[in-house]
Structures are given as structure tokens and as C-alpha cells.
Structure 1
Amino acid sequence: MILETALLTVKPGQGPAFERAMAEAQPLIAATPGFLGLEVRPRLETPDRYLLLVRWERLEDHTEGFRGSDRYARWKALLHHFYDPFPVVEHYGEPVVSTPVPCG
């Protein structure tokens, strides 16, 4: 599994509109083969900052599959105008150290 990450800095005061646009955009990425899940988490200390986490089966599912699709153009139109500065997107492999979450 590949973990895509991006720290999203949204233009001041645009957080609620960004969140609505992200909810609208989510099905676009979810329709991509190899997509395993998405989370967008607000930063508690700083309004209008979010952490994007996307899980993929393979790196190419994101870099070629999603970014090469017609759905990506719509994703960009919905979301990219919110960012200042534009985020750096990174991809991470399997953990080298992991602690399981206790059940129950």
C-alpha cells in the first residue's frame, strides 16, 4: 500500500467552502482503480490547514491512473484554487516500524 500525503494550506476564510468542494470531489478520486481510501483532517492549531491522506494500492494508481484521467481535471477545477501555496504531494511506502492499535 502507498500513502499519499499533502499539507493543504487553504486561503484564509475559505475552509468551509474547501470542505464542501472536497466532499464533492471525493467521488472523483474514489472511482480510480487502486484507490483504497481518503482522509482530510483539519489542523487543530491553525484554521484553514488540512492534512490530506490517500491510500493507494500502487504509486501508478495515483500518478498515472488518477492524474491521467478525465476526473482529475474536474478535481483540479474544484480544489486547486483554494491552495496558497500549492501543496507538495509526497508518497510513502510500507511502515518500517508500526505499533498496532489495541482492540477493545
Structure 2
Amino acid sequence: MILEVAILDVIPGQADQFQADFQQAQHIIAAMPGYLGHELQRCIEQPSRYLLLVHWQTLEDHVQGFRQSPQYQQWKTLLHHYYDPFPIVEHYAAVFSQTKR
């Protein structure tokens, strides 16, 4: 499993509309092959900053499957105009993991 991590700095004053458009956009990504789940978290100290975490089966599912798909164009249209600066996206592989149950 691969974790995609993006820090999203939304233009101040546009957070509510960003969240509304993200609600629609999340259905696009959730329908992609290799998608396993996602979270969008809002920063407490900087309310116009969000953290997007997306779990993929493989790196290729994200960078080739999603980013080279027609659905990605819809994603871009819905969300990319909110970012300043444009986010850097990184991918991580788990080393250790623990969940309290």
C-alpha cells in the first residue's frame, strides 16, 4: 500500500467553497482502480491549510492510473484553482504501523 500525501494551501476566504467542491471531487477519486481510501483534514492553526491523505494499492495506481485519466481532468477543474501555492505531492510506504483497538 502507498500513502499519497499533499498539503493543500487554499486561497484565504475560499475554504467553504473548496470543501463543497471537494465533496463532489472525492467521488471521482474513490471510483479509480487501486483506490483504497482517503482523508481530508483541516489545520487548526492555519484554517486555510488542508492535509489530503490517499491510500493506493500501488504508486502506479496514482501516478499513471489516476493522473493520466480523463477523470483527473475533472478533479483538476473542480479543485486546482483553489491552491496557492500549488501543492507538492509525495508518496510514502509504511515502515511501522500500530492502531489502538
Per the shorter chain, which TM-score range? over 0.9
Larger Rg: 1
In structure 2, stretches of 5+ residues that fail to align are: none
Q: How far apart are the structure 1 equivalents of 2:57 and 2:5?
A: 14
Corresponding residue for residue 36 of structure 1: 36
Given the two structures, how large is their TM-score scaled by the length of structure 1? 0.94
> SS of the counterpart of 2:53?
strand
> Once superposed, which parts of structure 1, at least 4 consecutive aligned residues long, lie more than 4 Å away?
none
> SS of the counterpart of 1:85?
coil
> SS of the counterpart of 2:19?
helix
Q: How does 1:1-104 map to 2 (within 5 A)?
A: 1-95=1-95, 97-98=96-97, 100-103=98-101
Per-residue deviation, 1:102: 2.1
Given the two structures, how large is their TM-score scaled by the length of structure 2? 0.96
Q: How far apart are the structure 2 equivalents of 1:33 and 1:39?
A: 17
What is the number of residues matched between the two proteins? 101
Q: How far apart are the structure 1 equivalents of 2:100 and 2:29?
A: 31
Per-residue deviation, 1:46: 0.7
Q: How far apart are the structure 2 equivalents of 1:30 and 1:102?
A: 26
> What amino acid is aligned across from residue 31 of structure 1 in structure 2?
A
